[in-house]
Structure formats: structure tokens, C-alpha cells
Amino acid sequence: MVLYIVVDIGASKIRIGLATFEKVVEKIVLQTPRVGDEYTIANLIIDKIVEKYGIYIDRVRAISIATIGPIDIRKGAVVNTTNLPIKNFELLEPIKSFFKKPVYVVNDAVASVYGEKQFGSLLDYSNIVYITMSTGIGGGVIVDNHLLIGKMGNAHEVGHIIVKYDDGLPCGCGGRGHWESYAGGANIPKLAQYLASKTKYSSEAYFKAIKNELSPPDLFQYYRFGDYFAKSVVDEIIRVSIAGLATVTNLYDPEIIVIGGPVFLNNIDILYKPLVDGLNEEIVTEKPVVKPSVLRDDAGLYGALAVAINPPEELLKIQPIYP
């Protein structure tokens, strides 16, 4: 049986899986290193593949990696990422050189939309947008059954859509007012602290926010408890996310938008309806279907698997995949 090694590199976690043509059959989850050099992450992945899946390596056809960006798709490397202290790191060359196997490296959200189409019951859709609301905000787009990649592999860095033009919060990329500045998990505590500095509440969420200690899980839990300050923060996240989703919809005219990532998936009860209702008021095209990811935390792994099984033609043209 032909096998694949699939990898999903996030700002918080790295998932490494063993897959067949049909599914990911097992996986391990690691913490993403916060310190190291440009080879630390690749070396960790190599070590764990050897340790966990070394006995299968002769049957592995390819290794496919979905990673946070931005990426340089020509080199298969991450360049100047905003949500990791290790800003630049190599992937394709060290892993390809070690295993002597074809290696694919793509943006995680780009891979995820490909995986959602192939493995998430979306084969009947030709125009799909995938949005991840995680540590950051990312996107992947299929238009007329064509996966959009871009010259560097960063065609849909939708987290850097500008949603606030005046007095916008700083983003990790150096810009201001970006969607990710407000709704990315890493930035939600900063948003809460900023809003707390502008007003005064007598609530637990408010006092945590003042000290920059209001985590996303705590924020949404306080919202469920009826905390008024938590509600004001969540309302702001919803407002900017409607702006981001509307921009993406007006740009790409999708039939369906799939939303993943823990910020959204762990809080569907709070976010789903207001996002859909708000989106429908802000678009000029026909309303798309909006649904949560069915692949959930494994969207990146299944995206990597879809890339390995059916590599996009554009990727084959520009990435030195083969050893």
C-alpha cells in the first residue's frame, strides 16, 4: 500500500501524520518550537518522522507540508512569519535531502481549501473560500476549480486585509488595522487591553484585559456568562470579521465559505450566526453558503494529503519537489 507523510505546521502546534490515498490513519501533535535557527523546525520534523514512521518510509511516496506563511514557494521555505519567534525557516531542502523523497510545501490555508474540496464533501463546488481563524487569520481560494497560489505561494494572506483605516491596531507584520490584528488568537488579548483602556467596566473580563491576561478561551467563556465587557470585545471581533469575510466574498464570488481554526470552531455558538447575518448585508454578489470546517483540526493534514495525491500544476512548475 502506498503511503504519504503529511505535516501541518501552525504557530502553536505541528501535526505529523501517516496517510493512505483515502485518509490520515494516525498522527502525532507537537508544540511548535519558539526558539532555534532556520533548521530547527525541519530537524524536529525529520526526527519525529524517523522515530514514529521510520518503519514505513520505504512505502512513502511523498512528504507534503502545509505551513504557516508567508512562504517562498520556489524555495519551499517560510519567510518573515508574523506569529512565530523563528521568523524564517527552511523546509523543502533539508527534508528532501534527508529522505530522498518528493517534498511539497504549500501555505496551510491554501492546502486546507484543497483538502476541504477533496475530503470535505465539496467536490460539487467549483468556487470555494476557506478561512482559518486561529493564531492568525489565513485563507485559501479555489475559483472555477482552479487553486489560486500566487507568485510566492501567498495568494490569499487575507489576515492582512485592512479592516480599520484610522487608529488601527498594529499587526505582527508591521502594518496597522489588519483583520488579524483584531481577530487572530494571538492578538485578541491586545484588542481586549486596547478596548479596556478606552472605557471602564466592573467585570472580571475587564480586569484581566487591563493586565493583558484575557485569553481567547477566557474571553468567550466570559461572554457566555454574560460579562458586558467580554461582549464588547466579541462584538468588535465580529464586526471586523464581517468586513474581512465581505471583502473576500466580493473579490472571489464563492459558492461556499468554509471557516475553520480554533477561534471559530470552539465558539460556533457565538460567532456563526452574527457572521453570516452580517456578511449577507455587506456583499454585492449572491449569498454564499457558509459552514464550519468538517475536517476541523485536521484540515491542514488533509490539505497536505490532497496536494501529495494530486499536486496542483502551478506548484509543479515552480517548486523543486523531486530529490
Q: How many helices (H) and strands (E) does the chain have?
A: 12, 13
Residues 211 and 95 in one domain: no
Which pLDDT belongs to residue 167? 74
Question: Within a domain: residue 112?
Answer: no
Residues 140 and 235 in one domain: yes
Q: What is the pLDDT of residues 8-44, one digit of tens each?
A: 999 999 999 999 999 999 999 999 999 999 999 999 9
Count up the domains in the chain and report the number. Answer: 2
Residues 63 and 98 in one domain: yes
Question: Within a domain: residue 114?
Answer: no
The Cα–Cα gap between 31 and 85 comes to: 13
Question: Within a domain: residue 254?
Answer: yes
Letter string b/e over residues 195-205, b meaning 16 or more CB atoms within 10 A of that residue's CB: bbeeeebebeb
Which pLDDT belongs to residue 87? 95
Residues 101 and 223 in one domain: no
Residues 20 and 42 in one domain: yes
Q: Which domain holds residue 87?
A: 3-107+298-318
**Average confidence (pLDDT) per 10 residues, the chain, 323 residues:** 97 97 97 97 98 97 96 96 93 98 96 95 94 95 94 88 87 91 96 94 95 97 97 98 97 97 98 97 94 96 98 90 87
Residues 51 and 65 in one domain: yes
| C-alpha cell of residue 152 | 510566492
Residues 12 and 141 in one domain: no
Residues 181 and 234 in one domain: yes
Ranges of beta strands (E only) in the chain are: 3-9, 13-19, 24-31, 60-67, 71-72, 77-78, 89-90, 103-107, 128-133, 137-143, 146-147, 256-260, 289-292
Give the CATH number of the domain where residue 82 resides. Answer: 3.30.420.40
| DSSP letters spanning 98-111 | HH-S-EEEEEHHHH
Residues 172 and 67 in one domain: no
Question: Within a domain: residue 115?
Answer: no
Residues 285 and 303 in one domain: no
Predicted model pTM: 0.94
Residues 54 and 168 in one domain: no
| C-alpha cell of residue 198 | 478606552
Residues 12 and 75 in one domain: yes
